[in-house]
A and B are shown apart, each in its own frame.
Chain A
Amino acid sequence: MILAVLLVYLALVLAIGLWSHKLFRGTGEDFFVATRTIGPFVLLMSLFGTHMTAFSLLGASGEAYREGIGVFSLMASSSALVIPAVFYFVGTRLWSLGKRHGYMTQAQFFRERFDSDALGLLLFVLLIALLVPYVLIGMLAGGITVSQITGGALPEWAGNLILCAVVLVYVLYGGMRGTAWVNTFQTLVFMVFGAAALLIIVNRLGGLEHALARVAATQPGLLVREGHIGRVEMLSYMCIPLSAGMFPHLFIHWLTAGRVSHFRWTISLYPVCIALVWLPSVLLGVLAAAELPGLTPAAANSVILRLITQHAPDLLAGLLAAGVFSTCMNSLDSQVLSLGTMFTHDVVRHYGMHDRMSERRELLVGRLFVAFILVVTFVLSLVTTRSIFRLGIWSFTGFAALFPIVVAALFWRRATRQGALASALTTAALWVWFFTRAGNAPDYSVAGTGLMPVAVMLPVSAAVLVLVSLVTTPPPRAVLDRFFVRP
Chain B
Amino acid sequence: MSRALGRRLALAGLPALFVLHNDFWLWDDSRFVLGLPVGLTYHALFCLAATGVMVMLVRHAWPAHLEVEEKAARREARR
Number of B residues near A (Cβ < 8 Å) is 39
Q: Is the CB of B21 within 8 A of A78?
A: yes
CB-defined contacts of B67 to chain A, threshold 8 Å: 259-261
Cβ contacts under 8 Å, A12 to chain B: none
Chain A, residues 315-352, CB within 8 Å of chain B (1/0): the string is 00000000000000000000000000000000000000
Please judge, given known A-B contacts A76-B47, A259-B70, whether A267 and B58 are in contact too, CB under 8 Å.
Answer: yes
Stretch at the interface among A79-87, A120-128, A365-373: A79-87
**Contact assessment for B27 and A268 in the assembled complex, using a CB-CB cutoff below 8 Å:** no
**A70 close to B39 (CB less than 8 A):** yes
The distance in angstroms between the C-alpha atoms of A484 and B27, with both chains bound, is: 45
Q: Which of A70-94 contact B (CB under 8 A)?
A: 70, 72-73, 76-78, 80-81, 84-85, 88, 92-93
Beta-carbon nearest neighbor of A82 in chain B: B18
Docked CA distance A80–B20 (Å): 13
Contact flags (1/0) for B38-59 with A, using CB distance below 8 Å? 0110111011101101110110
Task: Name the A residues within 8 Å of B32 (CB-CB).
Answer: 212
CB within 8 Å: A-B pair count: 120
Among the stretches A103-111, A181-189, A220-228, the one at the interface with B is A220-228
Known: A100-B69, A209-B35, A224-B37. A81 touches B14 (CB 8 A): yes
Residues 263-305 of A, flagged 1 when their CB comes within 8 A of B and 0 if not, give 0100111111011000100110000000000000000000000
Dominant SS at the A interface?
A: helix
Looking at A49-57, A231-239, A246-254, A435-443, the stretch in contact with chain B turns out to be A231-239
- A214 at the B interface (CB under 8 A): no
Q: How large is the interface on A (under 10, 10 to 19, 20 to 34, 35 or more residues)?
A: 35 or more
User: Closest chain A residue to B51 by CB distance?
Assistant: A271
Please tell me if A161 contacts chain B, counting CB pairs below 8 Å.
Answer: no
CB-defined A-B contacts under 8 Å, sample of 14: A69-B40, A72-B40, A72-B44, A73-B39, A77-B21, A81-B18, A96-B69, A208-B35, A223-B39, A225-B27, A231-B22, A231-B24, A259-B67, A271-B54
With A81-B21, A84-B54, A92-B63 given, name 18 new contacts (CB 8 A).
A69-B37, A69-B40, A72-B43, A73-B39, A73-B42, A77-B44, A77-B46, A80-B50, A84-B50, A92-B66, A95-B66, A212-B37, A224-B27, A231-B27, A235-B22, A267-B58, A268-B54, A275-B44
Instruction: Return the 7 tightest CB-CB contacts between A and B, nearest first.
Output: A226-B28, A275-B47, A271-B50, A77-B43, A223-B37, A80-B47, A73-B43
